[in-house]
Structure formats: C-alpha cells, structure tokens
Chain A
Amino acid sequence: MQRYLVELPSIRDDDNGFLYLFKLANEICSNPVRHFDFNFKNCSVLDQNAVAMLGGLARYVDSYNTGNLGLFGIASKCGVMFQVDTMSQLIREQLIENNFLSHFSRESFPGYPKGDYIGYRQHLDFLDPSEIALHLSEQWLTDEKIKLSEELKQAIVSRIIEIFMNAYGHSFKDQNSPIILISCGQYLRKEKKIKLTVLDFGCGIIENVKSHLNNYIDDNEAMKWALKTGNSTKTDSIEIDIPRGLGFGLLSEFATVNKGELRVFSNSCEARAIGNNSYSVSSIKTPFKGTLVNISINCDGRYYSFVSETANGKQYF
C-alpha cells in the first residue's frame, strides 16, 4: 500500500486556508486508495474549516478502503492516521475538546467539549434533523457557553438546520459517492462569534444543477441558478412536486442582517452572501468536488433585527 505523508501547515478560516484545503482534497480524492499520514509538527492553528475537512477526507478515504481507519498509534495498512504525537499541546487539546480525535482513536477521551470549539460531528448515513436541533440548542448554544436571546437562538438554530438539510440533500442525491456529511463549529469568545463549516462529498451544487436542468449552462450561471430563491434541484427524496428552494435565500438574508459572513464553495465556484436574498459568485482557483458551506454568525443581539429581515415580505399570517 502506497504511503503518503501530509505535513499540515497552520490552516485558518481565510482564503489561503480554503485554497490549501481544496488542493489537499483534490490530491487525496484523486487517488484515495492509499495510506495517508498527517503530521502536525508545522501546524499551530487549525480552524473549524480545517477540522471539518480533515474529518471528511478521512471518511472519504475510509469509504474506499477496507475499514482500517486511522487508529491512534496503530499503523493500519491503509486509511488515514493523524499523528497525535506530532501535535502541539494546544492543537491536541483542541482536537480532544471538539470531539474530533475520539472519532479516530481507540483511546477514550473524556467528555464533550468544554473549550472554545463547539464540536465536530459526522453523519455517514441517516440525518435526523430533530437530533441536530437538539444538539444545537442543548449542547452547542447552551447558556453556559453563550448568552443568546431566545429569539436569536431560535433564528440561529433554524438557519443552521437549513444548512444541514441542504448539505444532506446534496450528499444524498449523488448515489455514486458515499454519504459523508461533516460539520465543525468554533466559538470565538472575544469576538462573540460562532463559526461553522458543513461539508459533503457529493457531486456538488453545479453538477446537480446541470444534471437537473439537462442543458448546457456555464458553472457560474449554474451556481447562481441554485442560489436563487425558489429554484431547487429537488435533492430531497420526496417525489411530490412541492415548493422548495428557500434555504440559500434565507441564509443569505440572515448572514447579512446579522452582519456575519456566508460562503458556499462547490465545484468550480464560490458564492458569498451579499444580502437581499442574493450572492456574488466567482470562480475558484482549485475546484472542490463536493460542497462546503462556511458561516460566521454574530452572537450579539445588536447585530440582529427581525424587522429588517422581513422588510420586503408580505405578511399572510
């Protein structure tokens, strides 16, 4: 079995961080039937986008291999090994606290996160949206970790659920790829911000749109089509023709009103929320086969207004 050493640098939630992660994803996904060793000696920062991607890549490789997955301290024949002994104490503690290492290790690490991270999660088959809602409200956004008004908490949980359900749909629709839906969140105490990355290794939004519309459309246009309110590739498994296509519009509006940030990477494009249910779409240097949604939410109630989020909408009830 061919071995491949990945020497991870520091990876932040910024343009350079995403560029590195997509290059890494392409390298690994181009030939996943290898053994990958991840060395952390040059890594002093791992933001939530990096943690989510590392977990996703490990599961992706696992789905192509025989099940010998990254066991701590044990050299498996194939799969992924995160070399814990090369991690700084800070990184190691973070990856324990956010529950990441417990997924890739036989050692039992104590408890759920008590630090600034708000948790690594993976959904490899069925997504139970109620379970996600409970997890978000009762484990992530507890009063001990973060003070939120009940309204803002409801709004945040509701919008994050939209992200998960969209991602699960994209992942589920591509029957040629394994269902791998990964998320990782991080709470920045000083800035009072939550950052969350949700990614899947499905065929991507643009490929879904092209297949759904069954005609030629360029990548940027396909991405714009997917993000437009009311448009949907029907990624859920419901056969009946019901209205859909509100998720991305709601997220754009929420991120803008909240003065947060929302970025969606899929295939060859990136979309950034710019308000009014709309996005700016641009090409990215290194395409990503799946879809990655990255959101930054202000947890200070001053940054949220119900009035402005609905200013243009008609009130039926």
Chain B
Amino acid sequence: MRISGRSFEHGNVLLCVLCTILVVSLIGGNVLLNCMTRYNVASSQVRSWKESLDAAETGGDIAYAEVRKKIFDPTHAFSGWTYSGGAYTNSPVTYGQDNLSTTSRVDPFYYDGNGNAWYRIRTKGTAPVLGLKRVGMDDRMGPNTRGDSLLRKIDFNYDHFVATYGPNGDGVGQTLLPVSQPQVSRRVELIAAPVTPFEAAIKAGGTFYGLGSAAYVDSYRSATGPYDPSVKTNPADPRYADSHAGTVEINGSVATIMGNIYGNLYTNGGTVTKKTTSISGIIDNNVPFSLSPFIMPSTAGWNYISSPAVINPNTTITPAAAGSADKPNYYLVNSFVNNGSLTVNPYTANGVPQETYVAVHVTSDIGSSNGQGPSITVPAHVHLDIYFDGNLQTKAENIVNTSGYASNLQFYAISPTDPNIQQTVNLSSGSGSTAGFSAVFYTPSANFTITGAPDITGAIVCKNFYTNGNIHWHYDRALDGQGDAVDYRVISYVEDIR
C-alpha cells in the first residue's frame, strides 16, 4: 500500500514540474517572439532601409561623376550607359557584402542662358532584407496607429513602387514586378547644376600682386541699372550692397594688395601684405580652392561655319542665323594676325538685330608684342565666346564691347597640355590711356598681366595675376550665373518617399 501512496506523490510532483516547464516555456517563447520581432526590425529592416539609401546615394555619386566628365573628359562621359528618350541609364551596379545594388537615370532637363545643361539624376538603391519573409514590423503603438510600416516600405513579393507609379515614377508602365527576395528600395533625385567661373571679380589660383595704389575694385548689378561710381560710398542707396561685392580670391599664401577693395578678400592660409589697401568686406585667410585646366568644350551640335578661318585686318562675321547659347554659330580660326581686326555683327531679321550667339576657336596666339595689337569689336545683341589655344596680347582699348555687358564677350584660354608651356595674357591700356573694356576672362592656366590704368567691367580667373596700374574694376554681380560651365555641383536633393 505504501508503494501506491508514493506513486501518487510522484505524479503530483511531475505535474508541478510540467506546469512549471509550461509556464517557463510560455515566458521563454514570448521573450523569443519579441526578441525576434525586435531583431528583425533592428538587424534586418532598419539596416536594409538605411543601406538602401546608401545605395541610392552611391548611384547618385556614380551619375554625378559622369556628369562632371561632360566638362573634364567629354569623350568618355556616360560611356557604357544607354541613351534613350533623352536620358542616360546605366546597368545595375552591385557592391558590398550585403549585395546592395543601384541604378541611375540622368537627363538634361534644362539649359540656362549660357547653354549649360542642368542634369536631373534619379537613382534607386536596393538592399535585400535578410532572413525569411516575415512581416515582423514594429507597428504596435496603439490600436489605430501604425509605426514602421508608414516609414519603411518593404517589398516582400512585388516592387510596390513599380506597381503603383511605374519604373520611372511617372505613372507610366505600372506592372507587378516580382522581387527575388524581400528588399527595400529608396530613391533620391539630385540636380547637378553647372558651376560658372565668374563668382568673384578677380580669382587667382597662384600669386597676386596689385593693384595700383589709387586703384579700386567695386561691383554693381546690371539688372538694377548701369554702373554708378557714387553708389559704393552712399549707404543710403538701395544698390549699396551690390556695390560691395568686388571680391578678390587668391589661392596663394602671400598676397600683396593695394588700392581699395569694395568686397571680400580671400587667401589660402596666407598673409595679406597691405600697403594702401582698404578692404570693405572681410579678410578670410582660409579659403583654398583649385582651378582645373580648361579644355575645349564639345562642339557637337554647334553650327559650324568654315569661313573665315583666318582673322585679318577688317575681318567681319555676320552669321546667317542667330544661333543659341547651347548651339552657337561656330568658327574655327587657325590664325589671328597681330593687326587682325574682328567684328562680329548680329543676325538681322526684317532689319531688326537679333540676339546672336557666336563662338570662335582660335588655335593659335591672338596678337603678339609688336604694334598696336589685334582688335575685337562686339556690337550690341552679339554674344561672342572666344576660345584660344595660345597666348593673348593686345591693348585694352582694342576690346570694344558696345553693350557694356561683360558677359557678351567671353574669353576662354584652353590650357596647354604640355606643363612646360606657360600661357600668358597681356593687356595694356597704353601710356596714359584709361580706355577700358567690358569682358570676362577664364584663363586658369595663364599668367595675367594688366598694365596702365584701364576702366574694366568684368571678371578674371587666372593663374598668377599682376598689375601695377590704377585700374578701376567693376564686377557685375550678374556674372555669378554667366559663362561656360567649369564644373558641376549638386544643388538639390530630394528623396522620393512614395
């Protein structure tokens, strides 16, 4: 009988143990379930969500690099990409141990007044969500509130974006596109804008010496009226702020500054040796920059005209069409003789002059050290860009830009490929002359020298700058958006959160 009693007691213990194990298992299971949910969210979903943005931005970098090649290496820009429907697209690029992938689509959506293309870069980055297909999102904020699923859109079976908005997000071509494994895709849209060269009155990548002790650099904005020398000393004038933007930027360590600068002065860790200098703005000695060599832009699409090929005395160009900033009338000139005289007339329609766009590429020097030097005359309505491979030497009074808008006459010095060749630009106003000009110069590889005391409206970008004259230099603030693109920068970033 005792055996029977003992058996009953053992069963009771077993029951207790089983119950305990059940309770502990329930708690353990609940803990594991919650841990898995958190783990899924933190380790898989959040990780994938962040990595997909990384992939999208990587695609943006890849596309941006191709856009920059349009300036620095035009023949290889978008090499290997597919061009269709006005847009470049690339094949998916896969990288990283998590097999992130990215694709990009680039289209020039806008051309500014200088003919520079603005590019829209749309990229998609995809990161796989590792593990099984679990809808384990952390959505438990309340009965009527959703959490992660509002923010993180995971494609478990189909690409929700393509199904709803189409592959390009424009509502065209919606389809059920199966995904091989759960994934998160994020999309960003970047705008790459051209960087134009004339952001300051004078920008020297090397050394700087000047100006004369009675010289000055000031500014104005042509959109608000013609230049008025009295504005810069009259704070009550509404144009006063625009008159103090005659900024000088020097990438050298030592700058010898004379005259008055109605603007800021930037150097690269340098020492400003002030003599008679008065600087109205700030002096910042920590503004480094670099000037990339300038290469001849692609002339594809330009309206090439074979004659004239030589600029002699009294050479006149009158185009048969107005052209446009991005498709100008294009002349290839192999000689610009020292006493050459070039006049470019506007195209007229019914006797009315039209805004006419002309580009001249001179493959030799323009002028030499002898004689009066070559002359260039640009009447109103003409927008002339001169590209030259060699040196430029003439007198300031030989540059005649009737409109007074510096952006209507632009000089671009194509950088020599031989580093031993030093390009030069020499402008002289002649003894005692104060005649000047309105023009801009982008000569990043050239030593730029101005002698005399010309009155100049415009901007200069050069390597080393030297002048000893009492120049009166007026920078037109409208120039900060003028000129050929010398680089690209991303100025807009939007994530497509659909």
Check if A and B associate. Answer: no
Q: Which of B's residues lie within 8 Å of A, judged by CB?
A: none
